[in-house]
Structures are given as structure tokens and as C-alpha cells.
Structure 1
């Protein structure tokens, strides 16, 4: 009865269910098809099973049912058993049979089939337990399946490095392997399996945005599944149970350990589950608890250690947090004496702290880097909170210059800013405006601009309209829009170009059109855990203190009168200016002719050029440089003072003083960032134990306080017993 081959459907991970007629059914698990020929050996079969299921075959046994018998499982223990299965499977050349992989320690208990009616008294208790275990196993498989899809391959995009690390963590738990980071410096992350021979590896990096993209990935695993309990760190446990702990505050560590084992297959100790719950509780409740008693104290410490600063705390009815405004004296002095009169207003949702918002006002220094002037902590971003923040900013800032404010169009701050700062100018953040323009391209103009190249050209034309310094240059961009789409041109004209185009904007932005405050503050605040309000504000203070010190030290080495970036820009324009022809007209007015015979009028006295780029950027254009060099002038004298090294040093000349960890009048201690020792900390300090020492007695003289060896009495002095 020799047959050529059979198709064995090999199944692993499911459960046997009892039918009402005494037969059994197998539900759940994972199934693969394996070809078994008459001359296939048992070792060959085990080798193929090991490759397919990636399991340790020494822990399993192979079982099958004879044709027509669904009640008795037959074990395959040697080559003869395997040949019998092939011979007994049927008379056709190719037949199908079912093979089951069961753990050697597993005694399959038959559970009632879910589609059969079974009398309750006839169902044993262990059968009901097996049915529940099957449901939990299916739930675990569902979770692992979703986690296995966390990493899909090359080209997958993640919002941030933190999101990427979380995805790799869950992916490793689902796949059952340990990993480690070879490189993790922010924009570039490389991950590989901890097994040295395993080729599994991922390389991800970003370009200009915060998004992280998988560039290379080797999906092959040469290692078997192993325990991933070490991946269940305290912070990971906290992130998993945080939502449930918010709904169920009495969630016990023992229940946490059971749930993690049931849902994720992780066996954790009670102490690890307790520490994870402790971290989750601090992240959930520490923010509001500290806000009620430590923010006023922190505000007092700022004013005490940094006199001249502006710090205001207001408790609000119905709010546990209140709101805090901070502007250090070093920031106010540096903005007034070294930064251009330009402020960017931003609202930030910090990735490390999701329970409150940060309102910021940042300036720009001589190197085009952000210079934080003021910030406020509020629970939600509302018009009322914005008005309060700008009002406090108005009180803190010295009004010796006409300021220019820039913010997103969505913030609706134009009216508030112009009311509180009557002589100021207001403009739009260009980055957010370009993103809004792209969204309009996708939503409203897809019929007219179907090709991606057309959309990219429209974005380039819009950017050119932003940087256009003259009205005729702006109008040329509008004509380009009209040739592509009338709707696009109408949207551009309706978006108030006087608030964003250089051709119409009345304020002075000195070539800076957008803020990087979100990147700056998110990089400053640690994402290893969710800090409280006071901790987060103190992180900002510490980072500002370090920033001022490091930039002051770096600038002390500069030898050029202009900052390094501005020196490079002037040098580039100087090279281009050598090909220009300069003709003196009258007084300080000159005529400059380029290679295309285009004529530009330069007034060196008024620092004005007909190309308008000198007025917009604050640096002399190539036409102005040609004039300055023709008259033997010094270029530094014709650059804005905000780009000079002395102004940069003035911006960072005043330091932020540290705040020592102390105890305030209400006996609330400031949170010290110290490393916790191992083990579970005691909730209450233990009372000292009174230990009594046994008195020392000499066996020679029978007196207390010394031993026989140190006894100084002679034998004659010792009285007999």
C-alpha cells in the first residue's frame, strides 16, 4: 500500500474541542502545509517544522488521527510511525491529512464545541477552563498579530523617533526576540538583534522633518523565539496600563501581572508590576498634584534667585493647574540688547507632557537661532489664555522698539496683538501657511492640478510669492497661478499677502519667516517619562541656562565683526558683486549695472537698493556691496547691528541663576532628580530596632567588661568559686 506523497496540514497553537458525538475538533492556532513522501524520515520532517514555525522541536510531539477515527490521537515517535501514517492516509496518489504539534507536557483536555449543546453537569471543570484559555489564546494572538505589523519594511514612516522605538519594542515582543540599538542619535537609528549570528537589522533616518523613515531592513531571523520578559521595562508597563489605571485606580499589581501574562504572554514579578504602576500613577496624577502646591513656590524661587525676572502665577477657578508665565531677566535683557525686534508666537503640545500646553514667545539671534523670551504653562489653548499671555508679555517687555509678531493664521492672534501692542506689525508663519496651501491643493484643486509635478510647481510659485521683494515680482507669481488655476490665484490673493509677502509686509523680519520653537522645546524636555509641571518647567530653565552659557563661550572665540553665518553670506555676495559696474549719480546715490544691463539704484546713506533685498534682510545685497567697495567703505558698517558679533555677545551676556533644591514654607519639597535604588521602596520609614548587646564577662575573674585573654589580675587575686 505504498503511496507516493501526502499533503500534511501541520497545526500548532490551537485547542481540541469536544463534540456531542464523542469526536473532536481543533480550533485556532497556526497552520502550514508540508509535503511528506514515503521515504521522508522523521528528522527531515522535524527540520522542516522547525523552519516553518520557528520553534524548539525538542519540546513537541507529532500526533494525528487515523482516517474515520476522530477520537484517538496517534503519536509519531520514529520513522516507522511516519511511514504508517503515509500508508494509512488513503489510496489516491496525493491525499491530505492533519498533523498536530503538541507540547510533550501537554495533556489535551477536550472542551465542549461552541456550536454544540452540552449539559452543564456533563462538562468537567477543566474542560471549561480549557475553553476560556482558548479564548484568551486567541486574544493574545490577535494582539501579537497587530504588534507584528508595527514594522512593515522599507519606506514605513513614523511621526518621531519615540514612536519608532515604541513600534520596535512591541514588534520584538510579538516576534519573541531581543534587540539593541547600535546607533540612536536622533535623526539616525540603527537596531539589530542581540544574537550575534542573526542578520535581522533596521536602519531609519529623517531628512528635514521630525518624521523617521525606514531606509534599510533585513527581515531574516536566524534565531529562535526566546523569552522577552526583559523588554517589559517599568516605563513600558506604565505606558500599557496607564489608560486602564485611569479608569480603575484600584488596579492591583498582582492583577497587572496576570493581565500582562494573559494578554502578552509575559511573566512578570509582583515587584516589577508594582514599579510600573507607580510610574503610571506619577505620570497620571503628579502633574496636577504638584501644580496645586509647587507652582506658586517655584514662581517665588524664580523671583528670588533671578531678580528682575517676570514670573506670574494665577490660580483659576475650576482648574487644578492654573497658569504660569515666566520670562527670565537674562531673556529680557538679551532680547532688548542683542536680538532683532521680532517675536514668534507658538502654542506647543509637548510630546513628553500631554496634560497641558506651552505658549511661547521666541526671538532670533545673530546666528538665526531661536532665543526664548517668555513662555507660559496653561491647561488648554484658548483665546482667553492667549490674551492673558500676550498681556503679561506686554508688561514684561521694554517698549523701546517697534516689534514684529509672527504666528500661525489658525491662532487668531492678529486682533489681540494689535490691541495690546498698538505700534507693532503682525505677520503669518510661512511654514504653516505653505502647509495650508498644500492642503488646499489636495482638497479643492485636485481636478485642475492633477499631476504631482503641477502641484509642486504651484508650491514653488507660492514660495516665490513669499520671497518676492517687489510688487512686480509678486504679480508675476500671481500670473503663473492664473495660468494654472483661477481658484489658486484667488485663494492666494484672499490670504492677505500683506501679512506674509515681502512685497507688501510693513514689518521687518530680517530674512526669518518661521519658528523652530516646537523642535527646540520638545528636544529640551525628556521623553523617558512623563514629567510633572514643575519638572518640565525646570528642564526648560536648565536648558536655557546651558544654552546661554555655551553660546557665550562659543562667541568669545569669534574674530570677525559679523557672526559666522552672516560673514559667509556677505562673502558670497561679495564674489557676485565683483562683476557689477558702479556709476556715481548724486550724493550717496549710485547706479549699478549688471551683466544683463539691468540697472539698480543704491542709496548708501539711506541703506536702500531698488531690488529691496537690503531693506528686507538687513544685509547689503550684491549691488550695495559693489557700491561700498567702490567707495572704500567697511561692509560691517552697512550691515544690521543685529548681525554683529558684539550684539550676539550682548544677547548672551546675562546668565540665568540656578535654583537650589530646598523646602518651601508649606513643607513641600522640590522634586530632586535622583536615581532610585533597587527594590521596592517602603511607603513609611521603618522604626529603628533597639538591639541589646550581650555583656562581656571574663571567665577568669568573673567580672564584666573584658575577656580572659585581656584580664590583668593574677591567679592569686582571683577569689575561688
Structure 2
């Protein structure tokens, strides 16, 4: 009921205020001074449904003014209008574009925050929530093995059955590394910014043209030695330990612990780019300290 009222406000360019709201009644009126538009609804006894007892759908105010920061444009209302545009998964629909589209389409002003929250809700309507996605992870892994034969997946849970880590290696990527790529694995990790945070673990190979191919990926709670040891142990089960094999990474101590535990005989090198960036950062810090000493 609230959703339909919000959509009606957006389409007809007016705002309402809540006069009374409880578990049994819901009464709202137009924000315009002296406007006679009213809506009253009551709950059906013994149930969760509401019925409209009174509604005066005639406005006596002027609706020509576009209200800034449209108050009825909450995430649920905006999500209903945005989900059609977001069905194209390849489209990048930014908050500024949403604000502009609503200004042109509905002649109302919304903030970037309202647009972002509405987009997030629309994506949940189309794709489900992040929590639901975690619950469907075993089904995803099962279907992945059916669609791509030879794929390897592992899900690690704690004693209470809660998610800890996941490992995924596509069958075609495993075969490509074993028979076509160099015995060369680059590993890294990146921090996630979603609702549950976490860390993305990645292992890639390199072919003769210096082009990379993802071999395996995984998600865990944090980048520590225990997580890297578990991820690399599953990677070793997939690709083994090839002759003259090398692993390249940054200088993270957690990676060093994982490689030492799982691949003790494999050469572990450091990424030159990371070393260069670390040296630049170190030299800049020294120059700043030197300047401070001279000033003193």
C-alpha cells in the first residue's frame, strides 16, 4: 500500500505527510497548504491486509512546483521504476544519470544518495540480496561443474555451518594451464566493498604472448596466512606442482606463509611493480622527513 502511494506521488508530482501511522491505521494528507487530498486506510481485523476507508483524490493545491529532494522517492519506490533499466546487466547506470533521468521523466528532484539507494534496491529485486546469494552458493558450484566439466569448487564453513571461504577453478582454465601456459602463477588479493566485506583471492597464469588467464579465484573473510594456505592447497590439488614452476606475488607476509606451507619447493618471486611502488613510497617519506628536519 505504501509502495503504491509512493508511485502515485511520483507520477502525479505531489508529496504527502503522514498524519497517523500504526499497526491498524494509516492516514496521510497532501503537503500543499490547505489541500483537501486525503487518504485513510485501516487494517482488516485478524489479518495483515489493509483496506481503503476514505480517499479524496482531488487536489486543491498547486502541483506545478517541483519539490526538491522528493520525500516519497524512497529506495523501494525508486527501485520499482529503475529495475526495468537495470535489466541490461551491461549498463553502468550511475547516480548522476538516475538523477537526470528522474528530472526529465517525472520533473522531480532527487539526491545522489536517493538515486544510489534506489539502484541498490532495484538490483536486489532483480538479483536477490547478498545474504540470499550466499545461501545459493552450493547450488551455483554444482551447476558450474555441470556447465564446465572438470571444474573444481570447495566451500569452507565453520563448526556452526557459517560461510568461511570458497574456492573456484574452471575446468577449461585448469586444462589451459596444464597444457598451454607457462609454469608461472601470479597470485594476489583485493578487498571487497560489499555488505559483508571480505577478500577476493586470485591466481592467474600467463601464455607465450604475455596475456593472462584466470586459473582460480576465491572469497574469504581476510587476507591472512591461514586463508592463503587453504586457497593455495586447493590450487595445488588442481594443477599440482609443475617442473620449474614459479609463483609471483607482492611482499605480503600472509602470502609468504601460504606459499611456504603449500609450495615449499617452488620458486617464490616478488612483483617488480610492487617493489618499485614501495621504493617510491619509501623515498617520498624520507624526502618529507628531510624537509621537516631542515625546516626545524
Structure 1 length as normaliser, TM-score? 0.25
CA deviation map 1:569-601 (0-9, x unaligned):
xxxxxxxxxxxxxxxxxxxxxxxxxxxxxxxxx
Please state if 1:289 is matched with 2:132.
yes
Q: Residues 377-416 of structure 1 correspond to what in structure 2 (within 5 A)?
A: 377-416=219-258
Structure 1 unaligned segments of length 5 or more: list them: 1-104, 107-136, 141-161, 180-193, 195-225, 241-274, 451-721
Q: What is the CA deviation profile of residues 462-486 of structure 1, one whole-angstrom value per residue up to 9, with x for unaligned ones?
A: xxxxxxxxxxxxxxxxxxxxxxxxx
Post-superposition offset of 1:331: 0.8
2:225–2:257: 8 Å Cα contact kept in structure 1? no
How far is the alpha carbon of 1:404 from its aligned partner? 0.8
Whether the 8 Å contact between 1:405 and 1:426 is mirrored in structure 2 is yes
Which of 363, 370, 387 aligns to 2:205? It is 363
Kept in 2: contact 1:237–1:277 (CA 8 A): no
Once residues 272 and 205 of structure 2 are traced to their aligned partners in structure 1, the CA distance between those partners, rounded to angstroms, is: 16
Q: Please state if 1:346 is matched with 2:185.
A: no
Gaps of 5+ in 2: 1-31, 34-66, 70-91
Deviation of residue 372 (structure 1)? 0.5
Residue 418 (structure 1) aligned to one of 245, 260, 264 = 260
**1:239 maps to which of 116, 128, 132:** 116
Contact 1:291 1:320 in 2 (8 A): no
Measure, in 1, the Cα distance between the counterparts of 2:222 and 2:160: 13
C-alpha RMSD of the superposition: 4.0
Q: How many residues align?
A: 205
The SS at the match of 1:299 is helix
**In the alignment, is the contact (CA less than 8 A) between 2:182 and 2:205 conserved in 1?**
yes
The answer to whether the Cα contact below 8 Å between 1:321 and 1:379 also exists between their aligned partners in 2 is: no
Separation in 2, partners of 1:371, 1:232:
41
The verdict on how the C-alpha distance between 1:410 and 1:277 changes in structure 2, with shifts beyond 3 A counting, is closer
Determine which structure has more spread, i.e. the larger CA radius of gyration.
Answer: 1
Q: Is residue 323–residue 377 contact of structure 1 (8 Å, CA) maintained in 2? A: yes
Task: Tell me by how many angstroms 1:276 deviates.
Answer: 6.0
Q: Distance in 2 between matches of 1:278 and 1:448?
A: 51
Match of 2:163, SS? Answer: coil
How far apart are the structure 2 equivalents of 1:334 and 1:437?
A: 35
Question: Quick one: higher RCO (CA 8 Å, sep 6+), 1 or 2?
Answer: 2
Report the Cα distance in structure 2 between the residues aligned to 1:328 and 1:427, rounded to whole angstroms.
Answer: 25
Cα separation, partners in 2 of 1:366 and 1:353, compared to 1, 3 Å: farther
State the distance in 1 between where 2:266 and 2:254 align: 16
What TM-score do the two structures reach when normalised by structure 2?
A: 0.56
Against the structure 1 CA distance between its residues 281 and 298, is the aligned structure 2 distance closer, same or farther, given a 3 Å change threshold?
closer
